[in-house]
Amino acid sequence: MTHTRMRTLGATLVAAMATSTVLGTGLTLDTARAAEAAPAERQSAQTARGTETTRTADARRDDGPTRAERILGVARAQADDVYRYGAAGPDAFDCSGFTQFVFRNAVGEALPHSSAAQVDRTQRVTPAEARPGDLVFFYDGGGVYHVGIYAGDGYMWNAANSEADVERTKIWTDQRFFGRVR
């Protein structure tokens, strides 16, 4: 055995004895074997733990639809339901009744039945920050008069009026802002 190898082995044994764990029976758990583990074996064990962590994270990502997917799924399921002023579902809606119904059934959020009151339940986001599932509010000189659910790419789900029923439509005005339900 070379001098360097003996010094390394001696240091390993001293470290192992210093870190040995005394068990309740007076026996010691020899950690020298763990200290002598080859670097490749330690790397393999760390890689295996890292892989397990990654698999667990992937499984979490895959165990269901995202918040936006749930919101848009419930909105889409109401397509062609009739518009009726003051209605909040399940088969007829006005604009805020539609968003109220969708958020309650998709994510358990209790929104008020008024587009102006729903503004207070959101945090404004810029058009560049807007994500599918956010609310789109329309306004004029008299304040907020309409609300829908942003579907992405300039489209939204909404119950606009008795001639349109519930549908996915292009956002038709620049007098609008986006809000993310808090």
**pTM higher than 0.85 for the full model?**
no
Task: Specify the residue for token string 């667990």.
Answer: 56
Is the predicted pLDDT of residue 176 greater than 70, yes or no?
Answer: yes
Q: In the structure, what pLDDT confidence band is assigned to residue 39 with cuts at 50, 70 and 90?
A: very low
In the chain, % of residues over pLDDT 90:
63
Contacts 24+ apart (CB under 8 A), 164-171: 164/83, 165/80, 165/81, 165/82, 165/83, 166/75, 166/78, 166/79, 166/80, 166/81, 166/82, 166/83, 166/93, 166/98, 167/79, 167/80, 168/76, 168/79, 171/136
Contacts of 82 (CB under 8 A, 6+ apart): 91, 92, 93, 162, 165, 166
Residue type, 96: S
Domains of the chain: 3-61 (no CATH), 67-181 (3.90.1720.10)
d(CA 8, CA 3): 9
The pLDDT score that the predictor gives to residue 57 is 44
Q: Which two tokens stand for residue 107?
A: 């994510």
Residue 162: both structure tokens together: 């008795």
List pLDDT tens digits, range 52-88: 444 444 444 567 999 999 999 999 999 999 999 999 9
Cα–Cα distance between 38 and 112 in angstroms, integer?
63
Average pLDDT value for residue range 163-182: 96
